Amino acid sequence: MAEFLILRLVALAVIAAVSLMCGLIWGLLPGVALMLCLLVLWLGFHLYHLAQLLRWLERPAPRRVPDGFGPWNTVFMALYRQARRQKQSKRRLAIVLDRFINASEAMPDGVVVLDEYDRIEWINPMAVEHLGLDRRRDIGSQILNLVREPEFHEYMAEQRYSQPLILRNSVSGQELVLSVQLVPFDIKRKLLLTRDITQLERVQTVHRDFVANVSHELRTPLTVVGGFLETLSDMEQVDAATLQHFLPMMLEQSRRMQGLVEDLLTLSRIENSPLQAVQEPVDMEALLDTLQVEAEGLSQGRHHIELQRDSSRKLLGNQQELHSAFGNLVSNAVRYTPEGGSITLRWRELDDGRMAFSVADTGIGIPAEHLPRLTERFYRVDRGRSRSSGGTGLGLAIVKHVLMRHHARLEIRSEPDKGSEFSVVFSPEQVA
């Protein structure tokens, strides 16, 4: 704007000076005066268009390019085309930037853009969740001032771009395991990428524990059987009494290993099956009769077994899987109920249309602190008692996976020294 005013003053001064000179020499040199007047007009013409140009440069836009005459029309048209190309290029860049931002916003991983001094330039929502940052307040702040874990500071100092850092971070009271990695994408800028691997870490932990538990569970019976075989092989003559003493114990340990392998195969088959179980009508009356016979066979007359049929409704599901799940609940009740106790199997309809199968016993019961973990693989309240009773530690894990495939829920009520009740509740959609 200042250049425009100066040019206007200069133009007015030139016009006034030339006009005065024209008035003084008009009578003497009319040709020279005419040339000076034409020069003033030519100069005013260019100063006018130059002023138009300066005015447009203050707020350049294609629709505001001024109209010109002569060579200035060519100049203004060139400016119009250039401004239009810049506007289109700017629009394309804005679209690309919006797409990049939208993609980064939707990414399941955290993204933090850092400048050459490790100051935050941009954060996506997942990085906010992972690192506990604030998208407004923390822009321009040093990332090291916000993430204070010593291993993170060491990682940033070493700038190990090829290897990620496993960082355990607590955000909003939730423990997260993060994979953090620096990625340079410019001469000065870097990307800090974060990925939540908490679930993967848990799976790996469960896998390690599972392998360790299987090895431990198999080692004990193998050691017993191997010890008996070694003893028998060292004896020159083996009498019938010795065989009568050793063989039943070897057979018991062999059956224990066989039961463990069968439960592992059952659990593996259920886990690798489709999430939705086969929806076929299951005759619950026939299944209940089978469960009662099995319970009486396991009990060998040591318990009072009672079956209560309060409904004749059928279920939709997989007969074999439901039999396996219910059978595990029944065998646990027999196994952990002292001689002379009672076990009740019940099939009933609840008030809201749901169906429930329950196994109640008067056994040893379970302390409340153990109830949330009962369906974990190889989890035992009392390891010594579980092994002596012949359990593999996988029964309730099988029950949990079967119920997940049938959209059912396991409810447990128990009190030490008074007994337990395990109830499987099915939604109305699972009732035939």
Last residue of a domain, which of 89, 120, 153? 89
Tell me how many degrees the CA angle 420-425-427 measures, rounded to the nearest 5. Answer: 175
* pLDDT score at 136: 84
Are 146 and 249 in the same domain? no
- 296 compared with 16, residue with greater pLDDT: 296
- Tally of domains in the chain: 4
* pLDDT score at 345: 94
User: pLDDT per residue over 193-244, tens digit each?
Assistant: 998 888 888 777 777 777 777 776 777 778 878 887 888 788 877 777 877 8
* pLDDT score at 2: 40
> Which range is least confidently modeled, 88-102, 198-212, 363-377, 387-401?
387-401
Task: State the CATH number of the domain containing residue 323.
Answer: 3.30.565.10
CB 213 within 8 A of CB 393: yes
Residue 101 lies in a domain: no
Average of per-residue pLDDT values in the chain: 80
> Highest mean pLDDT range out of 79-83, 113-117, 191-195, 421-425?
421-425
In whole angstroms, give the CA distance from residue 297 to residue 134: 64
pLDDT > 70: percent of the chain: 85
Average pLDDT (102-106) is 74
Are 223 and 188 in the same domain? no
In whole angstroms, give the CA distance from residue 4 to residue 14: 15
Are 410 and 298 in the same domain? yes
Are 191 and 206 in the same domain? no
Residue 364 token pair:
């040893």
Residue 102 lies in a domain: no
Reply yes or no on whether the pLDDT at 307 is more than 90: yes
Are 123 and 185 in the same domain? yes
Residue 100 lies in a domain: no
- 76 compared with 302, residue with greater pLDDT: 302
Residue 56 lies in a domain: yes
Domain containing 313: what range? Answer: 280-430
Residue 138 lies in a domain: yes
Are 186 and 208 in the same domain? no
Are 284 and 414 in the same domain? yes
Last residue of a domain, which of 271, 295, 316? 271
Are 52 and 15 in the same domain? yes
Are 220 and 264 in the same domain? yes
User: pLDDT per residue over 2-53, tens digit each?
Assistant: 455 455 545 555 655 555 555 555 554 565 566 666 666 777 777 777 777 7
* pLDDT score at 1: 45
Q: Quick one: 406 exposed, middle or buried, by C-beta within 10 A (0-12, 13-18, 19+)? A: buried
pLDDT band, residue 321 (cuts 50/70/90): confident
* pLDDT score at 287: 92
pTM here? 0.53
Reply yes or no on whether the pLDDT at 425 is more than 90: yes
Last residue of a domain, which of 178, 196, 214? 196
* pLDDT score at 384: 53
> Which range is least confidently modeled, 47-56, 155-164, 309-318?
47-56
Residue 347 lies in a domain: yes
Residue 98 lies in a domain: no
- 303 compared with 55, residue with greater pLDDT: 303
* pLDDT score at 369: 87
CB 280 within 8 A of CB 319: yes
Are 294 and 368 in the same domain? yes
How far are the Cα atoms of 23, 285, 303, 320, 395 from residue 347, in angstroms, in the given order? 123, 9, 20, 18, 21
Are 262 and 381 in the same domain? no
Task: State the CATH number of the domain containing residue 151.
Answer: 3.30.450.20
Residue 393 token pair:
């530690």
* pLDDT score at 280: 87
* pLDDT score at 410: 92
Are 127 and 185 in the same domain? yes
Phi and psi at residue 356, to the nearest 5°: -140, 135
Q: Please report which helix (H) or strand (E) contains residue 153, including its range.
A: helix 150-158
